[in-house]
């Protein structure tokens, strides 16, 4: 982890920041606009958050853009989301590449159109060598799917006789979970007042810190990011352990 620069100063910043972007629909309703307009406004927020994260030394940002369950939304909204996703890739990928951002996607791509899959592959290939920041976009993603997919791969190896069942443990399974090559998220932000993770990175968030805010995603700005980073700085991360200097546990003579 690295210290931040600029008007805000932090003892530590999360190396990997995960965000559940919630509240686009409610924002649109309050503004008297259509739900797709809320999603479009949310894209503007992504730009602000990426810039603020980079300026403060955050190395990886993972965004929950479209969940496995989101296919159940009204067909017109799903279509609008897919169109917006495609437009985002077309309009942003060159700038992201110039800014040194490596783009990656996690999730099941089978239900996307061939054209959208090609756009995703192009974005990953174009930015593969960038090292300044990593942007992970979770699309058609679910934490349960992720774990089941990893277990399936191990089961296939057991079936093929290349792996013994007793060799399967947490360490091995972790190697087949999405983002296995990246550090686990240090902080997860969820906007719009909900306090649940909604099937997002179930395995990866096991020891992450959480920051919940009432702010709707399109309204989430630089000040909100700094509030989250400040809150993170106040946490004592012990991963289930205990500080040896904990005064409350010392024997009283």
The SS3 assignment for 162 reads coil
Whole-angstrom distance, CA of residue 190 vs CA of residue 235: 17
Task: Supply the residues annotated as catalytic.
Answer: 22, 70
Residue 232: which of 41, 27, 16 has the closest Cα? 16
- Residue 170 CB coordination number (10 Å): 8
The DSSP bridge pattern shows strands 187-190 and 209-212 to be parallel
DSSP structure class, residue 163: S
| Phi-psi category of residue 248: left, alpha or beta, with phi > 0 → left and psi -120 to 50 → alpha | alpha
Task: List, in sequence order, the alpha helices (H) in the chain.
Answer: 24-30, 35-55, 75-98, 114-127, 143-160, 170-174, 222-233
* DSSP secondary structure, 176-191, as one string: TSTTTTSPPPSEEEE-
* DSSP secondary structure, 113-135, as one string: -HHHHHHHHHHHHHHTT--SEEE
- Residue 163 CB coordination number (10 Å): 16
Residue 123: which of 135, 113, 132 has the closest Cα? 135
């Amino acid at each position: 982890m690295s210290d931040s620069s600029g008007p805000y100063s932090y003892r530590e910043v999360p190396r990997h920041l995960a965000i559940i972007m919630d509240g686009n629909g409610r924002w649109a309703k309050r503004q008297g606009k259509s739900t797709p307009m809320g999603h479009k406004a949310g894209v503007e927020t992504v730009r602000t958050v990426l810039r603020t994260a980079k300026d403060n030394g955050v190395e990886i940002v993972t965004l929950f853009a479209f969940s496995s369950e989101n296919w159940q939304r009204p067909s017109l909204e799903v279509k609008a989301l897919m169109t917006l996703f495609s437009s985002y890739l077309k309009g942003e990928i060159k700038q992201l590449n110039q800014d040194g951002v490596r783009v990656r996607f996690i999730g099941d791509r089978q239900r996307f159109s061939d054209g959208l899959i090609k756009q995703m592959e192009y974005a990953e290939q174009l930015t593969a060598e960038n090292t300044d920041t990593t942007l992970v976009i979770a699309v058609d993603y679910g934490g349960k799917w992720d774990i089941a997919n990893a277990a399936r791969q191990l089961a296939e190896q057991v079936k093929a006789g290349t792996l013994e069942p007793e060799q399967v443990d947490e360490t091995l399974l972790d190697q087949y979970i999405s983002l296995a090559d990246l550090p686990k998220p240090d902080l997860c932000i969820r906007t719009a007042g909900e306090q649940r993770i909604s099937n997002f990175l179930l395995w990866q968030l096991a020891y992450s810190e959480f920051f919940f805010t009432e702010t709707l995603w399109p309204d989430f700005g630089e000040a909100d990011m700094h509030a989250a980073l400040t809150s993170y700085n106040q946490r004592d991360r012990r991963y289930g352990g205990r500080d040896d200097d904990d005064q409350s546990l010392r024997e009283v003579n």
